Structure 1
């Protein structure tokens, strides 16, 4: 039986300390419900003493999300009576409430931040724990800036608060100063002493990412005896952020033989949670971020694509389905090799091509890829149709498909505060269609105009704009996700005009739907 690692999520407290990432009560509730689906063990719902709004949000989460005994709800307090009362009065509505308090132990915090002696700080901590224990049985004590603290003083503090009743001891690397070997050794020594003092007390860690080592330090701590880890979704948090929950959990899953531990996390909810947090907080996930980045399971290199098509484990150590994605993404670009393009064509039914035919089609693919950057399935149909037409070959079935694809001919979008409107001209086969609509904003109006022409019940799930170059002629990249008949489709487009890129991305999504849902008659 492997050892259980408790997962404490602080997205709604430390994560919300990111400038501009403030959530309202309803958004906090939505994130908390998703964290419950993710099956975290503990949700830190906020810092209730900081404002009435935060107090109410923590209370609502305790009442509506913490109403079952499979999750613990906590919130942060400083080691003062008023803060502890705020936490208690907001989390007490949960089935399993916890009081979490923090007090510094490093010389920098004791002498410069508090201006007190070490003995005075120690006494404050002990009295705070004793008071909290009169309110709730479970109390977590965090030794702020532990990684820069004198070890013997740190241990003296831990020993004293455990004897006062603390049930969880949290050891933070508050400023991301630690390195894995050093932090692992610290946790090993503390764990050895703590288990001899009281083996029922959980040893926890909270690592920051200032030097890019939050996940590594957290994993080193687990290897050296830590029972609980504090993380955030997408690694968001104060300054450079915290240890990313998804990275820690998937490292433990993927290298289970090495760590010999397990968590209760439902990994299939990782991507849903990541997208929800990113959307509500307005914080984009960097595209190459481990596990939750857009490119984490996307492959565009011809060498990688060739290896993956021969054997998935050549370049894939985690299946995308484990974290809630449908499958890996082979992105067809000018860097894609023949194997990847041939595989894509075969999936579309073109599996009888001779070598000379394929080479000619591949040349057409490369020509389009240089212009369009990413090539979609509907583009492949057009490339094959062009080849067949060029050589006077029978292309009736292919023409059936291409006649159902949509092409943007022109657009006009007017943005104002009264009637944002859009007009589009779209080609389908030999027909030209026009539409003009108003919307709640320019993109809403644009997409309403396109939907009026295509007449498909498409639901927009995600819309994201990012810059992929600099200067006045910077390229804007639009990525969106839509749903049709229960299936999800992702599409992208790039242009110096982000409105045009938005239209092209939407039409790319529509054509992906056409490819998968039309059958030649």
Structure 2
């Protein structure tokens, strides 16, 4: 029988401790609503004693988030802290008081500066006081992985007898290694279940040495009932265990862990993107599960295997975590199979081998020059190949948009953009005024392109030591509801932004054409 693992998300408390990631009340509420949709079991909404603003944010979340997660907030083992937590969460349907107190010699001697007996008594009194206010109390043994085990156990035992319903064992500074941490949790779990098997055993791992996910999963394997995580692994210093990594790990190997969670994994990408955008913390492109390149493949060997059978290099399907699809990025390393798959989008009948080899040679030259080759590049390669022979029996009738020229003016009054696009043999020009230069640019494109496109996400980042810019967009065609992505690289950030947007729109046109001509395709 598989165990249900309780998931506490602390993005709004530990995650918000990242410098520069401060959120206002409305932003916290947006994230809390999405965490409810994600179906986390507990939301740690903040640290109410820290400021009036944080107190109000926690209280708003406790009032609004109903028929969903339990709501908790953090308190030190101090009466004023516990009162602040209680007052902020008491209106929640499932309120939980979370108390933290250090147990390692480092914390006791250097931070708390009291004897071990005095610290233990502080913890016991704090739990007893909180228990008078609410039935559910979590007690966290801060820096547990550097504590003397017997003292740690005495603290846990005392907290349970005082009324704690959850015992949390944090790896506060990322000191643990998976094998050692797993053994620690196994020993604690064995003893706890002999005292009171209704008390949950929880873990909270930090990522200082990159082992937070591994340590959390080791804890689950060894009996932990509850995990504490953040979206995208954000948090103090190097961050926390990433919710998406731990949850996907459990789901992928549920037989090994003998466990499951209630997380709606298809909402992971949406939640990750919301947190990233509101906090202004960009997700690294190679980040597991939620990074932009998590399902992108550029190696020719990998692309060949994927095109034959996705399971060769994808143990996790992108759609399972809310990503629209895998992405095959054409580069000079891409093989014939990947290029043939890209070319086939534009063909009504199989391409003769001689033509394919000529096109592939042209593609390699282009890839050496451009580094990454996009759909519209492949389209123009095919078009040019047959146009030179004044024939086009194989090429699709779907034209794509190509950037010819643009001009963007940025100022405080009327940011504006003018753009010239090529569509087949026709040229189109458009202009627009927007809230900023990029908004004006995209509105100018929308004025030309007959698609009801809504921009969902826009990113521009520097690559190649600042010489080149990478533009990325995610947009939705409103009448279809599908999300499409595009990216482009250029030394000009405005041009990279325009090309990325056009790449996404061209992908929409291709998808529409393929649906309309499904019977005619080989």
Q: TM-score range by the shorter chain?
A: over 0.9
Aligned partners of 2:244 and 2:268 also within 8 Å: yes
Aligned partners of 1:105 and 1:149 also within 8 Å: yes
Which residue matches 1:45? 45
Which residue matches 2:141? 143
Q: 1:463 aligned to 425, 434, 458, which one? A: 458
1:318-344 CA-partner distances (Å, limit 9, x unpaired): 111211122222222221111111122
Larger CA deviation: 364-373 vs 501-510: 364-373
Which residue matches 1:12? 12
Aligned partners of 1:73 and 1:97 also within 8 Å: yes
Q: 2:440 aligned to 419, 430, 445, which one? A: 445
Aligned partners of 1:332 and 1:341 also within 8 Å: yes
Aligned partners of 1:381 and 1:401 also within 8 Å: no
Residues 1:106 and 2:101 are matched in the alignment: no
Which residue matches 2:2? 2
Alpha-carbon shift at residue 255 of structure 1 (Å): 1.2
SS at match of 1:513: helix
SS at match of 2:461: strand
**Aligned partners of 1:365 and 1:281: how far apart in 2?**
40
**Aligned partners of 2:53 and 2:384: how far apart in 1?**
61
Which residue matches 1:476? 469
SS at match of 1:134: helix
SS at match of 1:490: strand
SS at match of 1:384: helix
Aligned partners of 2:455 and 2:473 also within 8 Å: yes
Q: 2:402 aligned to 396, 400, 407, which one? A: 407
Which residue matches 2:156? 158
Aligned partners of 1:389 and 1:395 also within 8 Å: no
Which residue matches 2:329? 331
Which residue matches 2:26? 26
Show structure 2 runs of 5+ residues with no match.
Answer: none
Which residue matches 1:58? 58
Alpha-carbon shift at residue 350 of structure 1 (Å): 4.7
Aligned partners of 2:382 and 2:395 also within 8 Å: no
**Aligned partners of 1:396 and 1:300: how far apart in 2?**
27
Aligned partners of 1:385 and 1:395 also within 8 Å: no
**Aligned partners of 1:246 and 1:178: how far apart in 2?**
21
Task: Kindly report the root-mean-square deviation, in angstroms, between the aligned alpha carbons of the 2 structures.
Answer: 1.6
Alpha-carbon shift at residue 397 of structure 1 (Å): 5.5
**Aligned partners of 2:375 and 2:492: how far apart in 1?**
24
Larger CA deviation: 146-155 vs 364-373: 364-373
The structure-2 alpha-carbon separation of the partners of 1:441 and 1:200, relative to structure 1 and needing over 3 Å to count, comes to same
Which residue matches 1:168? 166
Which residue matches 1:432? 427
* Matched pairs, number: 514
Residues 1:422 and 2:428 are matched in the alignment: no
The structure-2 alpha-carbon separation of the partners of 1:263 and 1:194, relative to structure 1 and needing over 3 Å to count, comes to same
Q: 1:202 aligned to 191, 197, 200, which one? A: 200
Alpha-carbon shift at residue 157 of structure 1 (Å): 0.7
Length-normalised TM-score, structure 1:
0.96
**Aligned partners of 2:52 and 2:392: how far apart in 1?**
72
Alpha-carbon shift at residue 516 of structure 1 (Å): 2.2
Alpha-carbon shift at residue 395 of structure 1 (Å): 4.3
Which residue matches 2:293? 295
1:287-332 CA-partner distances (Å, limit 9, x unpaired): 1111111111111100001111222221111111211122222222
Alpha-carbon shift at residue 504 of structure 1 (Å): 1.3
Q: 1:239 aligned to 225, 237, 243, which one? A: 237
Show structure 1 runs of 5+ residues with no match.
Answer: none
Length-normalised TM-score, structure 2:
0.95
Aligned partners of 2:470 and 2:490 also within 8 Å: yes
Which residue matches 1:115? 113
**Aligned partners of 1:377 and 1:412: how far apart in 2?**
24
SS at match of 1:308: helix
SS at match of 2:465: coil
The structure-2 alpha-carbon separation of the partners of 1:394 and 1:469, relative to structure 1 and needing over 3 Å to count, comes to closer
**Aligned partners of 1:22 and 1:443: how far apart in 2?**
25
SS at match of 2:244: helix
Q: What are the residue-to-residue correspondences of 1:120-519 with 2, within 5 Å?
A: 120-395=118-393, 398=396, 400-402=397-399, 405-471=400-466, 474-484=467-477, 485-518=480-513
**Aligned partners of 1:123 and 1:217: how far apart in 2?**
30
Alpha-carbon shift at residue 4 of structure 1 (Å): 1.1
**Aligned partners of 2:395 and 2:416: how far apart in 1?**
38
Aligned partners of 1:307 and 1:315 also within 8 Å: yes
**Aligned partners of 1:350 and 1:241: how far apart in 2?**
51
**Aligned partners of 1:324 and 1:434: how far apart in 2?**
36
**Aligned partners of 1:408 and 1:513: how far apart in 2?**
16
Alpha-carbon shift at residue 277 of structure 1 (Å): 0.7
1:124-149 CA-partner distances (Å, limit 9, x unpaired): 11100000001000000000000001
**Aligned partners of 1:118 and 1:347: how far apart in 2?**
70
